[in-house]
Amino acid sequence: MNAVKRFIQHNKYWLNALLLVLPAWFYYQSLHPEFPAPLVEQTLGKYSITPMPFDEKPPYIHDNLYVKDFLLLFNKGDVDSVRQGYLNIGPNAMPLAQLVEHELGILHGTKHGQHVHALAKKTLSKDDRVWLTIETWQGEVVVMNWPLPEYLIKESA
């Protein structure tokens, strides 16, 4: 009998107990998620918005583009007045004509929260900001920005 089989035979009751406990642990963690602190609320025009990153991880690849997930809370302003809204991370706000070319970066959700896969670069620098571009049904374009949280900034060496 090799060492692995001997270990399993010797600890099979503890391994079975671990398999019974793990689903409860995963269920508890799914009910109590931990999010990083939201960015500072900003008001521009009739909108007051607070973006919150979903985690402290760097951007990831989604459909061959780098994105970073955010939740946007509309504290003031009606979400129904937004025709289209996009979030991108970079040194400048991307123009609407360029943003509509992608299926990513667009706000979607309910009045309680808008989810977005913000278009980003592979690595984020201190010159980058979080840019929100909103177009209303009347054609008004509102652009807001926030500084990036320190934990997302990774200067290339």
Q: How far apart, in whole angstroms, are the C-alpha atoms of residue 154 and residue 6?
A: 46
pTM of the model: 0.80
Tokens of residue 88, six digits? 């991108």
What pLDDT, on the 0 to 100 scale, is given for residue 73?
Answer: 94
pLDDT tens per residue, range 47-76: 999 999 999 999 999 999 999 999 999 999
Instruction: Return the number of other C-beta atoms located less than 10 Å from residue 149's C-beta.
Output: 15
The radius of gyration of the chain from alpha carbons, rounded to an integer in Å, stands at 21
**Could you identify the residue written with the tokens 């090799």?**
2
Nearest of 83, 144, 138, 136 to residue 118 by alpha carbon = 144
What pLDDT, on the 0 to 100 scale, is given for residue 45?
Answer: 86
Three-state SS across the chain? CCHHHHHHHHHHHHHHHHHHHHHHHHHHHHHCCCCCCCCCCEEECCEEEEEEECCCCCCEEECCEEEEEEEEEEEECCHHHEEEEEEEEECCCCCHHHHCCCCCCECEEECCEEEEEEECCCCECCCCEEEEEEEECCCCEEEEEEECCHHHECCCC
User: What band does 149 get if pLDDT is binned at 50, 70 and 90?
Assistant: very high
What pLDDT, on the 0 to 100 scale, is given for residue 12?
Answer: 94
Per-residue pLDDT at 154 exceeds 90: no
- Alpha carbon 67 to its chain's center: 8
pLDDT tens per residue, range 88-144: 999 999 999 998 888 899 999 998 899 999 999 999 999 999 999 999 999 999 999
What pLDDT, on the 0 to 100 scale, is given for residue 157?
Answer: 44
Averaged pLDDT score across all residues of the chain: 92
Per-residue pLDDT at 4 exceeds 50: yes
